[in-house]
Chain A
Amino acid sequence: MTDHPMLRLEHVGLRIGGARILGDVSLDVPAGEMLGVIGPNGAGKTTLFNVVSGVIRPTEGRVLLDGQDVTHVAIHRRAAAGLGRTFQTSSLFPALTVVENVRLVAQAHAGGATSVFRTPRRTDAATTRALETLAEVGLEHRAEAVASGLSHGEKRKLEIAMLIAMDPKVILLDEPMAGVGSADVPALTEVIRGLHRGGRTVLMVEHHMEVVLGLVDRVAVMHHGELLAVDTPEAVMANPTVQSAYLGEAV
């Protein structure tokens, strides 16, 4: 355990034109924690994710990944530095097979020789890693299927497998249950729980309240671009401010 949090947001703010999208968000996520981010539509949850992953630069404040200031680091460098995320829109390559999708990520993060003509044989490190990762999310039997033919739930599993293959320090899951049939929710929940058990630091935006509250260590509640509360699920549910601002109007 290091003395700094795995992810730290310091007074992060974002103004676009005159509008304040995010205001003074400060948050520490210790290594190994799973944090849920909830809030009504338009509360700034996805914007916060975009700021953390580098899609959007904040106009105020800093983002620190494992103690390093990454506020102005480009998105692909941030990904290479250990920040993996999923998107609300699918981040798969539909025409590639399942194992190719994962190998694409695995070979980039495995390092080693980068000869142009090095062929990925069945036995090479990236393919082995890809197959292991697929086994971890329970998708190894679909390895040779083309990704576009997967069910919604399987696609989400594949996206998570791609994240695992990056071996990131922090994983951002943006609405992992979106579009997933209720029958697939328990299995996917188990996959996400597995991420956490593996000691990974996970941030998750999710509307599905039971899923969030059942999985995470702490919940961050956002409202109008501000952080309303960060606490355990039980404490957040009992928090009167949260209830009036969010849960009251949502339920």
Chain B
Amino acid sequence: MSTVVLLLITGLGLGALYFLVASGLSLIYGLMGVLNFAHGSFLTIAAFLGWEVGRRVSDGTWWGLALSAMVGLAVGAIVAAATEYLLIRRLYERHIEQALVTVGLALASVALFEGIWGTDPIYTRKPDWLAQTTEILGAKIPNDRFLLIACALIVLGGIVLFLRRTRYGLIIRAGVENRSMVTALGIDVRRSFTIVFAIGGAAAGLGGVLASVYYGYVSAHLGSVLLIFAFIVTVIGGLGSLTGAAIASVLVAVLQQFANFYLAGTGDFVVVVALAVVLLVRPRGLLGKVA
């Protein structure tokens, strides 16, 4: 029983990380049809800069971590918005070229990060409480899982409120459904593109800081690993669906944890099989719109 609880909550924590990356991917694809392979780079640069600022001001404290998180959010948003504005926008409606640019950016940025911060993981310090465990139903749960889950829930709630309650949220929801019709109604959607990139980048940036807490290190490859699973989550959840991304994040991460423990470390394999099954049985994903 305690093993199940541990796997479940660890899965939820990992799912929180997936969601922070996948939410942006899903919104960006839903609105603009862009598969953003550079999304992992937003995460990595935010993790590095968040860590650099946090450790200089107050290493291993809550204050330092909060500062890292704020830096991560800001860096993620700014880098993502700049990417959209300077690169993606110029390739409007040219999806292959957009994908190529983001792939190139991802490869180049990883090399750049390695040049600056080296190829080895750099171990980070976190507040003492996060390194301890809390006992739930006999299972000793590392406390950082709770932080991850709480942050992901706050981000989910924040994005939902933004989409439901603001004028740009309305344009984005309409654009995800039918972008050409939004354009035909005389509405300029370009600003919404930048906003969606900024929101997705901010979530990924926060995810980067939290990933460094979860894994205990920062590395130039932090984003690449999470990006793969975030893409799988996005496809399973349904491209363009925020709720789908949230549900699929949890499903994929929990499945991965259980398979790793009970099926001899085959978690990644099982997730890819799940992706294949979803693509065969329900190609639009759990909550995706009919293409």
Q: Contact: A76 with B168, CB < 8 Å?
A: no
Judged by a CB distance under 8 angstroms, whether B57 is at the interface is: no
Judged by a CB distance under 8 angstroms, whether A2 is at the interface is: no
Q: Contact: A119 with B165, CB < 8 Å?
A: yes
- Number of A-B residue pairs with CB-CB distance less than 8 Å in the complex they form: 75
What's the minimum C-beta distance from A116 to chain B, rounded to whole angstroms? 5
Interface hit among A90-98, A179-187, A200-208, A235-243: A90-98
Interface hit among B115-123, B185-193, B250-258: B185-193
Residue of A nearest to B186 (CB): A79
With contacts A96-B170, A104-B170 taken as known, whether A116 is within 8 angstroms of B195 at the C-beta atoms is yes
Chain A residues with Cβ below 8 Å from B183 are 75-76
Which residues A113-135 have CB closer than 8 A to chain B? 114, 116-120, 126
Majority SS of interface residues in chain B? helix
Q: Contact: B167 with A76, CB < 8 Å?
A: no
Q: Contact: A96 with B177, CB < 8 Å?
A: yes
Judged by a CB distance under 8 angstroms, whether B291 is at the interface is: no
Chain B residues with Cβ below 8 Å from A85 are 184
What's the minimum C-beta distance from A142 to chain B, rounded to whole angstroms? 18
Q: Contact: A96 with B174, CB < 8 Å?
A: yes
Which residues A93-109 have CB closer than 8 A to chain B? 93-96, 100-101, 103-105, 107-109
Q: Contact: A120 with B187, CB < 8 Å?
A: no
Judged by a CB distance under 8 angstroms, whether A51 is at the interface is: no
Judged by a CB distance under 8 angstroms, whether A162 is at the interface is: yes
Which of B165, B177, B186 is within 8 Å of A120, CB to CB?
A: B165
Judged by a CB distance under 8 angstroms, whether A145 is at the interface is: no
Majority SS of interface residues in chain A? helix
Residue of B nearest to A168 (CB): B186
Which residues B228-275 have CB closer than 8 A to chain A? none
Chain A residues with Cβ below 8 Å from B178 are 93
Q: Contact: A105 with B166, CB < 8 Å?
A: no
Q: Contact: A105 with B173, CB < 8 Å?
A: no
Q: Contact: B185 with A166, CB < 8 Å?
A: yes
Q: Contact: B181 with A91, CB < 8 Å?
A: yes
- CB 8 Å contact bits of A154-179 with B (1 = contact, 0 = none): 00000000100010000000000000
Judged by a CB distance under 8 angstroms, whether B218 is at the interface is: no
What's the minimum C-beta distance from A164 to chain B, rounded to whole angstroms? 12
Chain A residues with Cβ below 8 Å from B170 are 96, 100, 103-104, 107, 120
Chain A residues with Cβ below 8 Å from B174 are 93, 96, 100-101, 104
Chain A residues with Cβ below 8 Å from B17 are none
In the assembled complex, the Cα of A166 lies from the Cα of B174 at a distance in Å of 16
Q: Contact: A116 with B166, CB < 8 Å?
A: yes
Chain A residues with Cβ below 8 Å from B168 are 116
In the assembled complex, the Cα of A17 lies from the Cα of B175 at a distance in Å of 33
What's the minimum C-beta distance from A60 to chain B, rounded to whole angstroms? 24
Chain B residues with Cβ below 8 Å from A87 are 184
Q: Contact: B177 with A119, CB < 8 Å?
A: no
Q: Contact: B186 with A108, CB < 8 Å?
A: yes
Q: Contact: B173 with A76, CB < 8 Å?
A: no
In the assembled complex, the Cα of A62 lies from the Cα of B108 at a distance in Å of 49
In the assembled complex, the Cα of A166 lies from the Cα of B178 at a distance in Å of 18
Q: Contact: B166 with A118, CB < 8 Å?
A: yes
Chain B residues with Cβ below 8 Å from A118 are 166-167
Which residues B154-180 have CB closer than 8 A to chain A? 162, 165-168, 170-171, 173-174, 177-178
With contacts A116-B166, A116-B195 taken as known, whether A104 is within 8 angstroms of B177 at the C-beta atoms is no
Q: Contact: A105 with B165, CB < 8 Å?
A: no
A76-B187, A80-B186, A116-B168 are known contacts; what are 5 more A-B pairs with Cβ within 8 Å?
Answer: A53-B184, A105-B187, A118-B166, A120-B166, A166-B186
Which residue numbers of A lie inside 8 Å of B, CB to CB? 53, 75-80, 84-85, 87, 91, 93-96, 100-101, 103-105, 107-109, 114, 116-120, 126, 162, 166
